Amino acid sequence: MEKRQLGSSDVKMSPILMGTWQAGKRWWVGIEDADSIKAIRAAVEAGMTTIDTAEVYGEGHSERIVAEAVADIREQVEYATKVFANHLKYDQVIDACENSLKNLQTDYIDLYQIHWPSGSFNTEIVPIGETMAALNHLKEQGKIRAIGVSNFSRSQLEEAMQYGRIDSLQPPYSLFWRQVEKDAMPYCVEHNISILAYSPMAQGLLTGKFTLGQIFPEGDNRNGNKLFQGENFVRAVAAVEKLRPLAQKYNCTLGQLALAWLIAQPQTQAIAGARYAEQAISNAQATKVTLSLEDIQAIDTIGRTVTDHFDDNPVMWNW
């Protein structure tokens, strides 16, 4: 799997990253640590050498599971983690990074990201300049190699760039959720900022495994996902059926088709989570699917039967 340069940094990352929100267990149901460890290890062995996590995923549990899975091959992997919106004051950023370094059993983080903008989830408003000053200091110390942001709008990204180099934006982005294309993507392309798309398979919806009438257990975050609600869900299930012939044409799964389409978009890499090793291996194989321009457009058209019905709110959940 040929790695891609992260923005203008000297960090290189796999086109598909291993996502580990689920490894933190919180907001997920039926996750076992042993399965998460096997999945992360399998992802790396299949070429997904970049692992995305966050301090807030199970209050550090995800980071610790990542370390348990791959700390012995640290030089072969890239760590991307995040500082949460309640830790954006200067000293809090420094402390949060130290905690993540400890959890990950490493002395440097390849990509350190602001998880949500200041003020999200009723957190205290902190000037972006203060947060960026801490991140720049960590970068100068060599504790982080590159700075990224997550869930930022174009205007928020532009403001952050006034205080230092941002090499990546991590937005929700999939064939079924595309607000970033209208907002921040043109700016990212112009300024060579990598887009690391999370929920690239729409939390499993694009794998075709869900049917109308699907019931999710209490505690599953998909219960609050707009894509799984009402007419949105009906349209999405219908669109998945239209994608099946294209997946058959390329002899790939629906999930691989969705990932292949996404990493063919400008500046875009995909963060794909997996509960089990076989899922991680399957995700990695999406890099072998080379879509024709005609089929990229056909997939685009099918996706718009879902996305054209949403407003410009970039948040996928009814939080």
Q: Which residue in this structure is represented by tokens 């952050």? A: 160
Return the C-alpha torsion angle 54, 143, 69, 151, nearest 10: 20
- Structural contact between residues 173 and 198, judged by C-beta atoms closer than 8 angstroms: yes
- In angstroms, how far is the first alpha carbon of the chain from the final one? 36
Exposure string (b/e) for 235-264, b if CB count within 10 Å is 16 or more?
A: bbbebbeebeebbeebebbbbbbbbbbbbb
Of 28, 27, 73, nearest to 51 by C-alpha is: 73
Of 253, 245, 318, nearest to 289 by C-alpha is: 253
Name, in order, each residue with C-beta under 8 angstroms of 43's C-beta and a sequence gap of 6 or more.
Answer: 18, 51, 274, 280, 281, 283, 284
Residue 293, phi then psi, degrees to nearest 5: -60, -35
Please work out, in degrees rounded to the nearest 5, the angle formed at the alpha carbon of residue 215 by the alpha carbons of 21 and 32.
35
Q: State CA 34 to chain mean position distance.
A: 22
Instruction: Examine the residue annotation and report whether 57 is marked as an active-site residue of this protein.
Output: yes
Identify any residues that bridge with 50 across adjacent strands, giving them in sequence order: 78
- Structural contact between residues 187 and 266, judged by C-beta atoms closer than 8 angstroms: no
Q: At 170, which helix (H) or strand (E)?
A: strand 168-170
H helix and E strand count, the chain: 11, 10
| DSSP-derived pairing of the beta strands 4-5 and 16-19 | unpaired
Active site residues: 57
